[in-house]
Amino acid sequence: MSDLSPISDHARQMAAQVEAFVREVIAPYEQDPRRDHHGAPTDELVYEMRAKARAAGVLTPHILPDGGHLNQRETAIVLIKSGLSPLGPLACNTMAPDEGNMYLLGHKASAEQKEHFLKPLVEGRARSAFFMTEPAEENGAGSDPGMMLTTCRRDGNHWVINGRKCFITGAEGASVGIVMAKDEAGGACMFLVDLPDPAIRIESVPNTIDSSMPGGHATVLIDNLRIPADQMLGEAGEGFKYAQIRLSPARLSHCMRWLGCCVRAHEIASDYACRRMAFGKPLIEHEGVGFMLAENLIDIKQAELMIDWCASVLDTGSLGTTESSMAKVAVSEALMRIADRCVQVMGGTGVSGATVVEQVFREVRAFRIYDGPTEVHKWSLAKKVKRDWRDRTANA
């Protein structure tokens, strides 16, 4: 245990403050009708909640006053608490994709870029979008970023970008964009852009099973977008490397937030099972129900430990690609089981909008796909098994 990165008193206190804020102030907003036609919270609702988070001292709680970042183990205990409501990450500014984008900009943006693009995100005054995924019908980048079709070419002191992107979370209403494109040498580049921009046109925002993220998951056309050269993030051709810097912590922070949601769903289902009578006794006393809730406790603890383990690896400075794949699979599948059991325990009430359990089920189902489907991560891990075997046999 001595090799683990420390968890400071500040982080523990912040986690407690976030938990109290989300439970007492934000959970009541879950029935607030201010939603768009996709069911996602409107920006009016988001910024109202953020004003309350700012007043409570829990806005962007994973970023320290001096601009530093909590270590990953500390981030975990804070983000899990922010996830106790699907609205909690929006209110506390720990939501995707902003949390991952802030992490990336904090590591790779220049001082000028941080002042212009990162500062309003940290202050909770803006939302952002990460433009990487491309339409499947065009055989563009998805789980395999190397298939990227969006292009960028140098034109004097600017870069010109063309392509289409899809499932761009939060694009509608975002003020900051990170656009990923391939250069003429086949390398990837990342660019920072102020939004909205007339060269980035939202073609559609499809209805999806999840509804927690403002702006939905848009399909956009990028048509001769001109970006000043000084708005390139880092160096040309290094975009795939930068994506890895962002993606491992970002997929782990998804695990953190949704674990918080599933803890809350389990609490609701447990309360229901202890109060609801059937066949002469509370549901919890029927083995079929009680065992499901017992299995939830096991999955919750295993998910918590998996997150903590992966976070400790990231805190060593490792990219943690293998570890984050393992955590993403283990946690997302465990959370799906937890959410499904909660719905089952609550019966008809579980599939209704009477509680947040139904939404948690939908959100966690989507989580098994984004940030890499379970099967892609397993495939990647299987390749590692083969590599390790080859290395062992070669050295035997």
129-236 placed in CATH 2.40.110.10: yes
Nearest in space to 208 (alpha carbons), one of 219, 196, 222: 219
Q: Which amino acid is at 50?
A: R
Contact status, residue 90 vs residue 41, Cβ threshold 8 Å: yes
Instruction: Return d(Cα 180, Cα 245) in angstroms, integer.
Output: 14
Q: How confident is the model at residue 396 (pLDDT cuts 50, 70, 90)?
A: confident
* Average pLDDT score over the chain: 96
**Residues in contact with 215: Cβ distance below 8 Å, sequence separation at least 6, in sequence order:** 40, 127, 129, 169, 170, 171, 172, 173, 174, 205
What three-state secondary structure class fits 119? helix
For residue 246, the model assigns a pLDDT of: 87
For residue 144, the model assigns a pLDDT of: 87
For residue 143, the model assigns a pLDDT of: 84
For residue 395, the model assigns a pLDDT of: 85
Instruction: Return d(Cα 131, Cα 92) in angstroms, integer.
Output: 23
CATH of the domain spanning 240-390, picked from 1.20.140.10, 3.90.1170.50, 3.40.640.10, 3.90.550.10: 1.20.140.10
Q: What is the pLDDT of residues 288-334, one digit of tens each?
A: 999 999 999 999 999 999 999 999 999 999 999 999 999 999 999 99
Q: What is the pLDDT of residues 34-63, one digit of tens each?
A: 999 989 999 999 999 999 999 999 999 999
Q: Over range 191-202, report the average pLDDT.
A: 98
pLDDT reading at 230 higher than 60: yes
For residue 308, the model assigns a pLDDT of: 98
Q: How confident is the model at residue 85 (pLDDT cuts 50, 70, 90)?
A: very high
CB atoms within 10 A of CB 68: 9
pLDDT reading at 375 higher than 90: yes
Q: What is the pLDDT of residues 127-162, one digit of tens each?
A: 999 999 999 999 998 888 889 999 999 999 999 999
For residue 145, the model assigns a pLDDT of: 85
For residue 42, the model assigns a pLDDT of: 97
Question: Taking the domains of the chain in order of start, what are their residue ranges?
Answer: 9-95, 129-236, 240-390
Q: How confident is the model at residue 244 (pLDDT cuts 50, 70, 90)?
A: confident
Quote the tokens at residue 3: 């090799």
Fold match between 129-236 and 240-390? no
User: Per-residue DSSP letters for 376-393?
Assistant: HHHHHHHHHHHHHHHHHH
Angle made by CA atoms 208, 104, 221, in degrees to the nearest 5 = 45
For residue 1, the model assigns a pLDDT of: 42
Q: Over range 250-277, report the average pLDDT.
A: 97
The distance from CA 59 to its chain's CA centroid, rounded to whole angstroms, is 17
Phi, psi of 91 (to 5 degrees): -70, -45
Looking at the chain, which runs of residues are DSSP E strands?
128-131, 151-155, 158-169, 176-182, 188-194, 200-204, 217-228, 277-278, 281-282
Q: Over range 171-200, report the average pLDDT.
A: 97
Between 5-19, 240-254, 297-311, the lowest mean confidence (pLDDT) is in: 240-254
Report pTM. 0.95
pLDDT reading at 2 higher than 60: no
Does residue 97 have a cis peptide bond before it, meaning omega lies within 30 degrees of 0?
yes
Q: Is the C-alpha dihedral spanning 224, 229, 233, 234 positive or negative?
A: positive
**Residues in contact with 395: Cβ distance below 8 Å, sequence separation at least 6, in sequence order:** none
What three-state secondary structure class fits 68? coil
